Amino acid sequence: MKKIDVGIVGYGVVGNGVAKVLEEKKDLLYKKSGVEINLKKVFTRNWNKKFPYPLPEEKKAQSLDELLNDDDIAIIVELTGGVDFPYQLMKSAIERGKHIVTANKALLAEKGKEIFSIAEDKGIRIGYEAAVAGGIPIIRALREGLVANKILKIYGILNGTTNYILTNMYKKGKDFKTALKEAQELGYAEADPTLDINGTDAAHKIAILASLSYGGFLDFSQIYIEGIESIHPLDIELGKELGYVLKLLAIAKGHNGEVEVRVHPTFLPEDNPLSKVDGVFNAVMVEGDNVGESMFYGEGAGSLPTASAVVSDIVDISKSIAEGVGREIEITSMNWEHKDLSLTRVSDFYTRYYLRFTVPDVTGILAKVAAVFAKFNISIAAVIQKEKVVSMYREKNSEKIIPLVILTHTASENNIQQAIKEIENQEITVEKTVIIRVEDEE
Ligand code: HSE
């Protein structure tokens, strides 16, 4: 029987979950994998706290070197968060020939190219199942189950905090601030939820899925990211009238040798299965050329769902160490094309749009807007104009100010931006136009 020693760095919510699963499921893991996985040491900066899964003294390391210099430890599980510290930690672990398991999406999305290159040179494996959508085994599905497919599109709800907030806004008519406060009170949102609500967390995850699906690394700073901070309940209501549900969607599509990657609030038809994904749940839809559409649904965060993914990587790597085979293929799995991916420019996005203009209720306004749309070759699919002044609309120069919503057929981002600029320059509108992209087949 082969025994594999494991060390964990970082003992927070996920670290406690991983230790619990490794200890309590030791026999089950052995029966399923044929390998004895031994949690040898855990390092955290401060052991003077109360932990949900307390450890015996002999497993508590007082320094990182206790793990890094222990030749028996074959796998380092990095669960610290941030980018710089874990990057240095991974480099040190790789230099000492230790395999890595991580849940760190920020690090992989922003420094994946460097870290995988160092790891490949040394024949080291990096497991990152827990970095995307917590407990949903989407990395393994793309790497193994769907390997026979060219991935045409992958899109999903990859952030539970924002999905909780948007669900609350949609179902209970709450405004953004109230819904965020509630999420924080219930422990669903971090004390500092900035990276969740501004879309960065979802972007980290889709960057990883895009790399794995299209076989190369991409420049994270070039990804189009828009968060949910400015979403107004009025747009959720008007979208509902048009048959749409608002979700923070992360999208990656491959076309013409490029990959289009974007994260933004998106209207989805209410009969799209992703529209039914509520609360803190995550879901990923993958479209492959052979399989068609496949949807993966589950808990995207939390101690035990994330631990489930971390432990799957520990078992996977332990098995390949024990068997001594299969590493070559696994190592190169994220950048299997060995190239950098070219990202589609924002101006070249093609999609449908929901546009809310704020206009005075006077003769000829709709005709003026329609004329600009015609000039930029934008086809209108639906229009909603509200006669009643909604409370947020003020009387201006004794004119009634109203929302005018236009849903377009597929148009280019470039044309949409030019049309809006012209409409605003002509002073047809009195406030900034609200733009929400729509994912809906035509
Ligand atoms: N904060 C994330 C979320 C989970 O709300 O989904 C960790 O990526």
Indicate whether residue 196 lines ligand 1 (CB < 6 A): yes
Label residue 330 by pLDDT band (50, 70, 90).
Answer: low
Are 163 and 288 members of one domain? Answer: yes
Distance CA 287, CA 133 (A): 17
Q: Please name which of 5, 162, 195, 212 lies closest in space to residue 81, comparing C-alpha atoms.
A: 195
CA of 203 from ligand 1 middle (Å) equals 11
Of the residues 297, 332, 356, which one is the last residue of a structural domain?
297
**Which helix (H) or strand (E) is 109 found in, with range?**
helix 105-122
Q: Is residue 327 in some structural domain?
A: no
- Pull the structure tokens for residue 343: 């990202």
Residue 239 structural domain: 138-297
Q: Is residue 339 in some structural domain?
A: no
- Give the residue whose CA is nearest to atom 7 of ligand 1: 301
State the DSSP code for 343.
B
CA of 295 from ligand 1 middle (Å) equals 19
Indicate whether residue 281 lines ligand 1 (CB < 6 A): no
Contacts of 85 (CB under 8 A, 6+ apart): none
106-124 pLDDT, tens per residue?
999 999 999 999 998 898 9
Position 334 pLDDT exceeds 90? no
**Mutate-to-test residue for ligand 1 from 201, 299, 306, highest number of ligand atoms within 8 A of CB:** 201
Are 382 and 244 members of one domain? Answer: no
What distance, in Å, lies between the first and last C-alpha atoms of the chain? 58
Domain of 388, CATH number, reads: 3.30.70.260
Confidence at residue 361, expressed as pLDDT on a 0 to 100 scale: 87
DSSP string, 211-224: HHHHTEE--GGGSE
Q: Please name which of 10, 218, 251, 210 lies closest in space to residue 111, comparing C-alpha atoms.
A: 218
10 Å CB burial of residue 12 (0-12, 13-18, 19+) is middle
Are 176 and 68 members of one domain? Answer: no
Are 44 and 99 members of one domain? Answer: yes
CA of 301 from ligand 1 middle (Å) equals 6
Are 105 and 238 members of one domain? Answer: no
CA of 193 from ligand 1 middle (Å) equals 9
Domain of 313, CATH number, reads: 3.40.50.720
Distance CA 323, CA 169 (A): 51
Confidence at residue 263, expressed as pLDDT on a 0 to 100 scale: 98
DSSP strand pairing (380-385 vs 216-217) = unpaired
pTM, 2 dp = 0.95
Q: Would you call 105 a catalytic residue per the annotation?
A: no
Q: Is residue 406 in some structural domain?
A: yes
Q: Is residue 385 in some structural domain?
A: yes
**Mutate-to-test residue for ligand 1 from 105, 107, 158, 159, highest number of ligand atoms within 8 A of CB:** 159
CA of 210 from ligand 1 middle (Å) equals 18
Q: Is residue 336 in some structural domain?
A: no
282-314 pLDDT, tens per residue?
999 999 999 999 999 999 999 999 999 999 999
Are 34 and 119 members of one domain? Answer: yes
Residue type at 353 in one-letter notation: Y
Domain count, the chain: 3
Label residue 327 by pLDDT band (50, 70, 90).
Answer: low
Distance CA 74, CA 161 (A): 35
Label residue 326 by pLDDT band (50, 70, 90).
Answer: low
DSSP strand pairing (35-43 vs 2-9) = parallel
Indicate whether residue 200 lines ligand 1 (CB < 6 A): no
Domain of 210, CATH number, reads: 3.30.360.10
Closest atom of ligand 1 to CA, residue 159: 6
Are 189 and 234 members of one domain? Answer: yes
Q: What is the mean pLDDT of the chain?
A: 94
Indicate whether residue 316 lines ligand 1 (CB < 6 A): no
Q: Is residue 196 in some structural domain?
A: yes
Phi first, then psi, for residue 400 (nearest 5°) are -85, 130
Are 308 and 169 members of one domain? Answer: no
Residue at token pair 């979950």? 17
Residue at token pair 């839809």? 285
CA of 94 from ligand 1 middle (Å) equals 27
Are 154 and 236 members of one domain? Answer: yes
Position 379 pLDDT exceeds 70? yes
194-251 pLDDT, tens per residue?
999 999 999 999 999 999 999 999 999 999 999 999 999 999 999 999 999 999 999 9
Label residue 400 by pLDDT band (50, 70, 90).
Answer: confident
Are 307 and 393 members of one domain? Answer: no
Are 293 and 188 members of one domain? Answer: yes
Indicate whether residue 156 lines ligand 1 (CB < 6 A): no
Q: Is residue 63 in some structural domain?
A: yes
Are 119 and 162 members of one domain? Answer: no
- Give the residue whose CA is nearest to atom 4 of ligand 1: 301
Position 354 pLDDT exceeds 90? yes
Indicate whether residue 135 lines ligand 1 (CB < 6 A): no
172-203 pLDDT, tens per residue?
999 999 999 999 998 888 778 999 999 999 99
Q: Is residue 111 in some structural domain?
A: yes
